[in-house]
Chains A and B, each alone.
Chain A
Amino acid sequence: MSATVDAPRVAVQVIPPADSRAKLRERAFEAALIFALLISLAMLIALFIDVFTKGLPGLSPEFVTDKASAFPANAGIATSLLGTLWLMVVCIVFIVPIGLASAVYLEEYGTDYADQRTWTGRMIGRFNTFVEVNIQNLAAVPSIVYGILGLAFLVRGPLDLGKIILAGGLTLGLLVLPVVIIAGREALRAVPSSIREGSMALGATKWQTIWRQVLPAAVPGVATGVILALSRAIGETAPLLLLGAATFNTQNPSGIFSAISALPLQINTWISAPGADFQALAASAIIVLLVVLVLMNSVAIYLRNRYEQKW
């Protein structure tokens, strides 16, 4: 724009370009967002292609029913898959009652102390806030730290359980417990207070209200939270490695007192083994793990849709 141009003409000429520039910027912004999305998608697709081209040929019913072996041709994942399922059983039995009870306390009882005037009331209120903050923080603690905790308190130390599935499942349970509590609280909060008040108005006690009205209404949210927590636990390798889980067992686990074995541990061993055959086995095992994960997530989606209620 030269200085000789008079003011009104400048105003008329400048506004349309500025407008189209804004549109351009808008488009560029959208393109940048899509680009960001494509990067993560491309990574995922690259991973899938890599794993499926290497692992698909090795997948067979025998691969799932055979035990691990020094001969790649005979090797399978029976032991580690069963180990993983047992770990999940321990995990679910541990996290559902403990996680749900914690969530119910914090959401249904803990809030009662928020505006207490008595000294004990205030102290309990402060304690609850302290617990809440810590649960948020625990959800962000690296998984390997839980491995150290499990080794010191469950495998050795006070409980001295040894390297058994019970200890492994409890360690994984501790790891995902904060996730369950947080998800549980959100599910409880989503239940409208009119339900509680209606129940109380009809003469139900607090316990009856929670057990018969609030909890059933919160099932979809809680179940989704639990399954997402299990999906995280099923892929964890680091804490189990730290517990000193063996990488090869000659016998399939028969219960919670058997030695720890898990699919991610088996994948970890095969990836670092010499020879391309073992790499292919690792890829096949990754496919099985992915299938288990997808199944678990489908159950979560099904439960959410099946039991969801509109208020």
Chain B
Amino acid sequence: MSYLKLNSLLAVVSAGALALGVAACGESTEPTGGSGEAVSGDITIEGSSTVFPFAQAAAEAFQGENGEVNITVGDAGSTAGFEALCAGETDIADASSQIDEETVKTCEEAGIEPIELTIANDGISIITNPELAVECITTEELAEVWEKGSSVANLAEVNPDLPDTELALYGPGDESGTWEYFTETINGEEGNIRDDYSPSADDNVIVQGVEGEAGGMGFLGFSYYEQNADALGIAAVDSGDGCVTPSSETIQSGEYAPLARPLFMYVAGTEALAKPQVAAFVDYVLANNTEIAETALVVPANEEQISGDEEAIGAGAK
């Protein structure tokens, strides 16, 4: 009796597993539609979480035209992306900062020559609480507020024209490419930043923090500002050539210097480009760059960058 019970239990469990298998098999892929000759096969993308929305939007749109293709997109970070690239584990690495020479050397030792594509732009935005109305701030003033050991508790200490409110500072932590770029460009050295601000790996937490305190101020990627523009104030940045407010236009043109930065995709050498699906995907990303960027709420690459990319692909395809 009890023996039977055990057997029937096993039967129920295996039937459940079987049903799941059937359900999964029923999920057949949609027929290929759209233009041109559809490709199939796997494409793996790994890297920066800043580039992730762009890569996801690109993968989704490309999948729509090539039903047989299977794309996986990760967001483990720029460094993890480069590691995977040099280890031959990924076809494309996303990065929010340019690859350094040491990494290129590691890749080349493994027989992989990364092909650099600039696929979008981002502008690190100085966000404030709407009550802390900062119209414009110079890069020197920013450095004074944010540099290591800084004890600036009030913007008026830096410049009497700025609002006299006690500051509450927020920003990404040291695992972030945004943090890397900000400290390097504003404070001259990667990691040169005061240690008494509130760091968070989650950009939404930074938004909430700045939103919640009258003296809230922080820095993060432009798309997070754009998504929360009605709840946040934004400071224009003056690097010596006048105040520039970050916007799609000023970021795309590079006018929002020095905080505008290009976003990259690195293709794992000619070998990856020889795969028809990877080559088709790269072409698709360059040809539909603006649409993809708009979907992903990032700033598209400018014409100069796209033509540079096409050249790099042409050289890599030989």
| Chain A interface residues toward B at CB < 8 A | 68-71, 78, 82, 85-86, 89, 92-93, 163, 212-213, 215-217, 219, 223, 241, 244-255, 259, 269, 271-276, 279, 303, 307
Bound form: Cα–Cα A35–B169 in Å: 36
Inter-subunit contact B295/A71 (CB<8 Å) = yes
Least distance between A33 CB and chain B CB atoms (Å):
35
Q: Which residue of A lies closest to B87 (CB)?
A: A156
Residue B315 at the chain A interface, CB threshold 8 Å? no
Bound form: Cα–Cα A219–B63 in Å: 46
Least distance between A224 CB and chain B CB atoms (Å):
12
Inter-subunit contact B227/A69 (CB<8 Å) = no
Bound form: Cα–Cα A71–B17 in Å: 32
- Among A71, A92, A254, the most chain B Cβ lie within 10 Å of the Cβ of A254
Inter-subunit contact B27/A246 (CB<8 Å) = no
Least distance between B59 CB and chain A CB atoms (Å):
5
Residue B318 at the chain A interface, CB threshold 8 Å? no
Q: Quick one: given A70-B53, A274-B53, are A250 and B80 in contact (CB under 8 Å)?
A: no
Among B5, B13, B21, B201, which residue has its beta carbon within 8 angstroms of that of A255? B21
Residue B204 at the chain A interface, CB threshold 8 Å? yes
Least distance between A305 CB and chain B CB atoms (Å):
14
Q: Quick one: given A70-B53, A212-B3, A274-B227, are A248 and B72 in contact (CB under 8 Å)?
A: yes
Inter-subunit contact B5/A70 (CB<8 Å) = no
Residue B49 at the chain A interface, CB threshold 8 Å? yes
Give the number of chain B interface residues (Cβ < 8 Å).
Answer: 49
Q: Can you list 16 A-B contacts (CB < 8 A)?
A: A85-B20, A92-B17, A212-B3, A215-B6, A216-B3, A244-B80, A244-B84, A247-B52, A248-B56, A249-B70, A250-B71, A251-B29, A271-B204, A274-B227, A275-B227, A307-B5
Which A residues lie within 8 Å of B228 (CB)? 274
Inter-subunit contact A248/B73 (CB<8 Å) = yes
Bound form: Cα–Cα A269–B72 in Å: 14
Across the A-B interface, the 6 shortest Cβ-Cβ residue pairs: A216-B2, A246-B72, A70-B57, A250-B63, A248-B73, A275-B227
Q: Which residue of A lies closest to B2 (CB)?
A: A216
Which B residues lie within 8 Å of A219 (CB)? 2, 5-6, 9
Q: Which residue of A lies closest to B74 (CB)?
A: A246
Inter-subunit contact A273/B27 (CB<8 Å) = no
Bound form: Cα–Cα A136–B295 in Å: 50
Bound form: Cα–Cα A85–B21 in Å: 10
Inter-subunit contact A244/B46 (CB<8 Å) = yes
Inter-subunit contact A259/B72 (CB<8 Å) = yes
Bound form: Cα–Cα A254–B23 in Å: 9
Which B residues lie within 8 Å of A92 (CB)? 13, 17
| Chain B interface residues toward A at CB < 8 A | 2-3, 5-6, 9, 13, 17, 20-21, 23-25, 27, 29, 44-46, 49, 52-53, 55-57, 59-60, 63, 69-76, 80, 84, 201-204, 221, 223-224, 226-228, 295-297
Bound form: Cα–Cα A227–B24 in Å: 23
- Among A217, A251, A307, the most chain B Cβ lie within 10 Å of the Cβ of A251
Which A residues lie within 8 Å of B80 (CB)? 244
Bound form: Cα–Cα A259–B49 in Å: 19
Least distance between B220 CB and chain A CB atoms (Å):
9
Which B residues lie within 8 Å of A247 (CB)? 52, 73-75
Which A residues lie within 8 Å of B226 (CB)? 274
Q: Which residue of A lies closest to B21 (CB)?
A: A255
Which B residues lie within 8 Å of A279 (CB)? 204
Which B residues lie within 8 Å of A223 (CB)? 9
Inter-subunit contact B24/A253 (CB<8 Å) = yes
Inter-subunit contact B56/A216 (CB<8 Å) = no
* New contact pairs (6) apart from A85-B20, A219-B6, A250-B70, CB-CB < 8 Å: A86-B24, A89-B17, A246-B46, A259-B70, A273-B53, A274-B203
Among B21, B46, B59, which residue has its beta carbon within 8 angstroms of that of A250? B59
Which B residues lie within 8 Å of A274 (CB)? 53, 203-204, 221, 223-224, 226-228, 297
Inter-subunit contact B75/A269 (CB<8 Å) = yes
Q: Which residue of A lies closest to B295 (CB)?
A: A70
Which B residues lie within 8 Å of A245 (CB)? 74
Which B residues lie within 8 Å of A163 (CB)? 72
Which A residues lie within 8 Å of B21 (CB)? 255
Inter-subunit contact B44/A246 (CB<8 Å) = yes
Bound form: Cα–Cα A271–B200 in Å: 13
Inter-subunit contact A70/B73 (CB<8 Å) = no
Least distance between A112 CB and chain B CB atoms (Å):
24
Q: Quick one: given A86-B20, A219-B5, are A248 and B59 in contact (CB under 8 Å)?
A: yes
Least distance between B204 CB and chain A CB atoms (Å):
7
Bound form: Cα–Cα A223–B10 in Å: 11
Inter-subunit contact B75/A255 (CB<8 Å) = no
Among A69, A241, A251, which residue has its beta carbon within 8 angstroms of that of B70? A251
Bound form: Cα–Cα A253–B295 in Å: 25
Bound form: Cα–Cα A73–B75 in Å: 22
Among B9, B24, B55, B295, which residue has its beta carbon within 8 angstroms of that of A82? B24
Q: Quick one: given A247-B74, A272-B202, are A70 and B24 in contact (CB under 8 Å)?
A: no
Which B residues lie within 8 Å of A307 (CB)? 5
